[in-house]
Amino acid sequence: MASSEYSLRRALVEKQSSIESQGNAVRELKASDAVKADVDEAIEKLNALKLEKSSIEKQLQAAVSGNPDSSVNKEAFRQAVVNTLERKLFYIPSFKIYRGVAGLYDYGPPGCAVKSNVLSFWRQHFVLEENMLEVDCPCVTPEVVLKASGHVDKFTDLMVKDEKTGTCYRADHLLKDFCNEKIQKDLSISAEKAAELKHVLAVLDDLSAEELGAKIKEYGITAPDTKNPLSDPYPFNLMFQTSIGPSGLSPGYMCPETAQGIFVNFKDLYYYNGNKLPFAAAQIGQAFRNEISPRQGLLRVREFTLAEIEHFVDPEDKSHPKYSEVADLEFLMFPREQQVSGQSAKKIRLGEAVSKGIVNNETLGYFIGRVYLFLTCLGIDKDRLRFRQHLANEMAHYAADCWDAEIESSYGWIECVGIADRSAYDLRAHTDKSGVPLVAHEKFSEPKEVEKLVIAPVKKELGLSFKGNQKKVVEALEAMNEKEALDMKSSLETEGEVEFYVCTLGENVTIKKSMVSISKEKKKEHQRTFTPSVIEPSFGIGRIIYCLFEHSFYMRSSKAGDEQLNVFRFPPLVAPIKCTVFPLVQNQQYEDVAKIISKSLTAAGISHKIDITGTSIGKRYARTDELGVPFAVTVDSTSSVTIRERDSKDQIRVNVEEAASVVKSVTEGHTTWADAWANFPHHSSGSVED
């Protein structure tokens, strides 16, 4: 807890007690019929104390909510973005005419185009440029696969039920909301109490079902809608369950991630890659999580598109051949140490983070760099993007290191991409469960000599001594580890015999020198067999898109100043439509020119929209600014047309014949708008725009 908050809470308690004693003093004066001047003076003092208390309250309020106005502003900003998105059908609550289903959304035409552009660029930036092996696996997954991966047993959230209505809530959400509410709105709680609540928030993710339940009881938390008592927390599996085939005997689930489809194919993919490491497989697909209580619009939903990469690498060599291409990138990183010591994220050169060991290895660093480039190319603001390292308690026990690309939105910092070194966990789990070894081999250029322990029980001697127990003694001898065996060897050499505990017999036996030969032998090996490590960048496409919407949105005044107009500043790469074509006024000649340009744009593969309605040109611009269309061609003569850039509203004049190629060039990034601005005559919009 910040020290100012702590001292303010203390000051508030003191002030309250001063007010109470002064109140008593006033009452006593009145009761004792004191002179009016004395009474007035005491009341004045009381009022002054109340004013001071109120001032402390204001300071405390500001301290607990950061900028006192910021949460209000964030809400208003989000409302403006979401209104525009829903009105323009970027997204729509699914099954709206049936009052919808929480946590399910449709992408309407512009949203669907943005999503498709983001996925195309993902394929270009990762799959094609890195020669990844893309696969496409079904969503329906048999239980055995998700049993092996751990999802059947562990992919749960803790839930509590309203004991009367049966409504379900996430236990940690209720506790979190309670603590936040108390801290931010109840100024009367003591500094110690506030510190306790903050501690609960910090350890929330680590609490067991019992601990969560105890806290809920202790704080008297009830069902938010009914105030009814709540059940104890119990785990709820987040996978959508179903049944495969008609028998009802083959349980299955809708995949909670796409990664398992890649892991189970490792053997074939490794072969396809010529039995060489490293290589990466990739998959774009739907993932399903039956959230207990979906929140935050597109950020926590029950079905979403994931794009995942599984990069398989030799655990003994995690270097990356293209690492140098990203090593000089510098961006906001938030290492574990900074988080624990209460510092904030800071700009670090990626190469430095890797060389100092802050980032575990080059390959992990390479992907962090590539993810940074991917997100910023899409239009994510680099100052509101940070890479946060997982704390020890967040990370799975098997993970070597894990970083989240977090994007700041009106909901706070949102995890949008997870980049984890999962070591050999997944391949080992499927090897164990399926019995099919998911391993790689390194052939040595020449055979290597290795020392191996050899334990050779002399069965005849053992048989003579132990008769029917011979087999158990042999097994126990063979099961010794290296240290035990070498200890026995030296004892036998010095003393000739040794006492040896055989657990299957439950007793010690005496082993003589003649009964076992223990030696270290040199062997030649031609290859090394190992389970590859997996480095997994996993992209929540819907979350990235939502953050992109927020980062791209702004409002500006209409020319007349009487209206606030909404704009999405999407880069052409992302924009749902690249260009509009408008005849300035309704007129057959202009329409014909518009159609000619439209045809050229189609031939050039530029998605565009032609609008020949009689609406004013200013309104038509405003409408397409709201869709984030970067360029508008306006036909105001039969020989030349204007091209307007969305954000600057600058216009150039080009010949009809070259209009499509100029748009193509600036859209596909062959030239910039600045180039076009330098090369073509400018057009002053004059009174046209509004």
Answer for which of 155, 288, 621, 680 binds its own copies (CB under 8 A) is 288
Answer for which of 112, 277, 395, 453 binds its own copies (CB under 8 A) is 112
At closest approach, how far in Å is the CB of 675 from its own copies? Answer: 19
Q: Does 247 bind its own copies (CB under 8 A)?
A: yes
Q: Does 340 bind its own copies (CB under 8 A)?
A: no
Residues 660 and 121 sit within 8 Å (Cβ to Cβ): no
Q: What is the DSSP letter of 237?
A: E
Answer for which of 13, 137, 214, 395 binds its own copies (CB under 8 A) is 137
Stretch that binds its own copies, among 123-131, 314-322, 365-373, 513-521 (CB under 8 A): 123-131
At closest approach, how far in Å is the CB of 9 from its own copies? Answer: 38
Token pair of 362 as six digits: 């080059």
Nearer Cβ to its own copies (87/356): 87
Name the one residue in this structure whose structure tokens are 């209009």.
Answer: 659
At closest approach, how far in Å is the CB of 160 from its own copies? Answer: 10
Answer for which of 134, 658, 689, 690 binds its own copies (CB under 8 A) is 134
Answer for which of 14, 268, 325, 525 binds its own copies (CB under 8 A) is 268
Q: Does 111 bind its own copies (CB under 8 A)?
A: yes
Q: What is the DSSP letter of 646?
A: T
At closest approach, how far in Å is the CB of 627 from its own copies? Answer: 11
Q: Which residues pair with 521 in a beta bridge?
A: 452
Nearer Cβ to its own copies (422/430): 430
Q: Does 9 bind its own copies (CB under 8 A)?
A: no
Nearer Cβ to its own copies (374/680): 374
Considering only CA atoms, which of 114, 92, 118 is closest in space to residue 577? 114
At closest approach, how far in Å is the CB of 86 from its own copies? Answer: 9
Query: What does the H/E/C string look like for 8-19?
Result: HHHHHHHHHHHH
Q: What is the DSSP letter of 559?
A: T
Q: Does 135 bind its own copies (CB under 8 A)?
A: yes
Residue ranges of E strands in 207-263: 234-237, 241-243, 251-254
Answer for which of 241, 319, 508, 519 binds its own copies (CB under 8 A) is 241
Nearer Cβ to its own copies (79/116): 116
Q: Does 158 bind its own copies (CB under 8 A)?
A: no
Q: Which of residues 90-109 bind its own copies (CB under 8 A)?
A: 92, 94-98, 101-102, 104-109
Stretch that binds its own copies, among 71-79, 247-255, 328-336, 655-663 (CB under 8 A): 247-255
Q: Does 226 bind its own copies (CB under 8 A)?
A: no
Answer for which of 2, 44, 67, 138 binds its own copies (CB under 8 A) is 138
Sequence-distant (≥ 6) Cβ neighbours of residue 262 within 8 angstroms: 135, 137, 269, 281, 282, 283, 308, 310
Single-letter amino acid code for the residue at 644: R
Nearer Cβ to its own copies (496/605): 605
Is the alpha carbon torsion for 199, 205, 209, 213 positive or negative? positive
Q: How far is CA 522 from CA 380, 455, 474, 525, 530, in A?
A: 58, 14, 23, 10, 21
Q: Does 168 bind its own copies (CB under 8 A)?
A: yes
Sequence-distant (≥ 6) Cβ neighbours of residue 485 within 8 angstroms: 453, 455, 518
Answer for which of 28, 272, 319, 415 binds its own copies (CB under 8 A) is 272
Residues 260 and 534 sit within 8 Å (Cβ to Cβ): no
Helix (H), strand (E) at residue 175: helix 171-185
Is the alpha carbon torsion for 425, 427, 433, 439 positive or negative? negative
Instruction: Return the axis-axis angle of helices 109-122 and 362-378, rounded to nearest 10°.
Output: 150
Sequence-distant (≥ 6) Cβ neighbours of residue 19 within 8 angstroms: 46, 49, 50, 53
Q: Does 602 bind its own copies (CB under 8 A)?
A: yes
Nearer Cβ to its own copies (242/490): 242
At closest approach, how far in Å is the CB of 246 from its own copies? Answer: 4
Q: Does 586 bind its own copies (CB under 8 A)?
A: no
Q: How many CB atoms lie within 10 A of CB 63?
A: 17
Q: Does 240 bind its own copies (CB under 8 A)?
A: yes
Q: Does 264 bind its own copies (CB under 8 A)?
A: yes
Alpha helices in 356-500, H assignment, sequence order: 362-378, 425-434, 459-466, 470-478, 482-495
At closest approach, how far in Å is the CB of 58 from its own copies? Answer: 42
Residue window 58-97: x/- pattern of binding to its own copies, with contact defined by CB under 8 A: -------------------------------x--x-xxxx
Answer for which of 15, 215, 302, 370 binds its own copies (CB under 8 A) is 302
Answer for which of 376, 607, 661, 665 binds its own copies (CB under 8 A) is 607
Helix (H), strand (E) at residue 307: strand 303-313
Nearer Cβ to its own copies (71/83): 83
Dist CA 111 CA 121 (whole Å): 15
Dist CA 416 CA 407 (whole Å): 7
Dist CA 96 CA 107 (whole Å): 13
Residues 124 and 98 sit within 8 Å (Cβ to Cβ): no
At closest approach, how far in Å is the CB of 625 from its own copies? Answer: 17
Q: Does 267 bind its own copies (CB under 8 A)?
A: yes
Stretch that binds its own copies, among 369-377, 443-451, 476-484, 605-613 (CB under 8 A): 605-613
Q: Which of residues 486-545 bind its own copies (CB under 8 A)?
A: none
Q: Does 595 bind its own copies (CB under 8 A)?
A: no
Q: Does 159 bind its own copies (CB under 8 A)?
A: yes
At closest approach, how far in Å is the CB of 249 from its own copies? Answer: 8
Single-letter amino acid code for the residue at 21: S
Single-letter amino acid code for the residue at 457: P
Stretch that binds its own copies, among 528-536, 550-558, 602-610, 630-638 (CB under 8 A): 602-610
Token pair of 328 as six digits: 């000089």
Single-letter amino acid code for the residue at 494: T
Q: Does 616 bind its own copies (CB under 8 A)?
A: no
Report how many residues bind its own copies under the rule CB under 8 A: 77
Q: Does 614 bind its own copies (CB under 8 A)?
A: no
Nearer Cβ to its own copies (63/269): 269
Dist CA 164 CA 240 (whole Å): 26
Strand, coil or helix: 272: helix
Q: Does 25 bind its own copies (CB under 8 A)?
A: no
**Strand order from edge to edge, sheet including 234-237:** 168-170, 156-161, 234-237
Q: Does 231 bind its own copies (CB under 8 A)?
A: no
Q: Does 681 bind its own copies (CB under 8 A)?
A: no
Cα 202 to the center of its chain, rounded Å: 19
Q: How many CB atoms lie within 10 A of CB 518?
A: 20
Q: Which of residues 399-458 bind its own copies (CB under 8 A)?
A: 430, 433-434, 436, 438
Q: Which residues pair with 116 in a beta bridge?
A: none
Nearer Cβ to its own copies (34/135): 135
Q: Does 259 bind its own copies (CB under 8 A)?
A: no
